[in-house]
Amino acid sequence: MAGRLNRVLVLTGSGISAESGIPTFRGPEGYWRNFDPTKLATEAAFVRDPATVWEWYRERRERIAHSSPNAAHVALVELAAAANEFLLVTQNVDDLHGRAEWNGRRLDPAQIVQIHGDIFATRCSNCDFRRRNPAEDVGAVPKCPVCSASLRPDVVWFDEELDPARVRGVQIFLEKGDCDFVLVIGTTAVFSYITEWALAGRGANGRLIEINPDETALSPLADERMRVPAGTIAGTLVEKLVDRGLKSEAC
């Protein structure tokens, strides 16, 4: 049996889903009609024009539902299987990490934190009502069955705070000790918590590896930068990390 890694943290952004045909917000296909997604994915836009925001989310739900996990999503399932402790923190609201399969296995839902929420979930803009059944979200702006207020996608918008319960989930993993490897894949890392978690996860002895074709805010802090599309890491990534993990153990 191949050697094992001890603790691994992976942080992903929209770039990991680009090869599944889901556009990143800031990439060339990012704009929807003539809207800038970073302005549309806001509570302010929803208050102003909830029907347009819902239309955009419906189109994105459709596109994601018809997409499949790519080689990079699959490689992370293999990586999780090689690690004693594994956590994936994704900024993606798509469900491709959860659907990816390697050797008939998937990530345990407890190994995934969707820090910006789930595009297929809906919640009330007024009360605590929540559901995850997009087929029920009918009408230009679906209404809450409890209080009749507008329902909204259960995602974290740019002008909103993270869900404390999800943040706590990341912190609990980080408090258990340093990681052998932290991988940061397909994110511009513009949110400071991404960089903070990457550095906290690496601790004193781990290695921070960035996988992204472009330079990002995190690049200067990484121990290694792989300037390639995420899909190309599949097949060799796990072997490479396990091999290096064993070598450093032997030192």
116 a catalytic residue: yes
Give the footprint of ligand NAD on residues 90-149 (CB under 6 A): 91-94, 116
Q: In this structure, what is the dihedral angle of CA atoms 70, 76, 82, 88, given to the nearest 10 degrees?
A: -160
Q: How far apart are CA 188 and CA 98, in angstroms?
A: 22
- Distances in Å between the Cα of 38 and the Cα atoms of 43, 53, 85, 146, 182 are 11, 12, 34, 31, 27
* Residue of minimal Cβ distance to ligand NAD: 15
**Is residue 22 a contact point for ligand NAD (CB under 6 A)?**
yes
Residue type for position 28: P
- Please identify which of the residues 66, 73, 97, 116 carries the catalytic annotation: 116
Relative to beta strand 117-124, strand 151-155 is antiparallel
Choices 1-9, 42-50, 141-149, 172-180 (CB under 5 A): range interacting with Zn ion: 141-149
Select the binding partner of residue 111 from Zn ion, ligand NAD, none (C-beta < 5 to 8 A, by kind): none
- Is 193 a binding residue for Zn ion by CB under 5 A? The answer is no
- Alpha-carbon gap, residue 150 to 122, rounded angstroms: 10
Among positions 5, 8, 14, 144, the unique one binding ligand NAD when judged by CB under 6 A: 14
Q: Which amino acid is at 55?
A: E
User: Minimal distance in Å, beta carbon 57 to ligand NAD?
Assistant: 11
Binding site for ligand NAD (CB under 6 A): 13-19, 22, 24-27, 91-94, 116, 186-188, 211-214, 216, 229-230
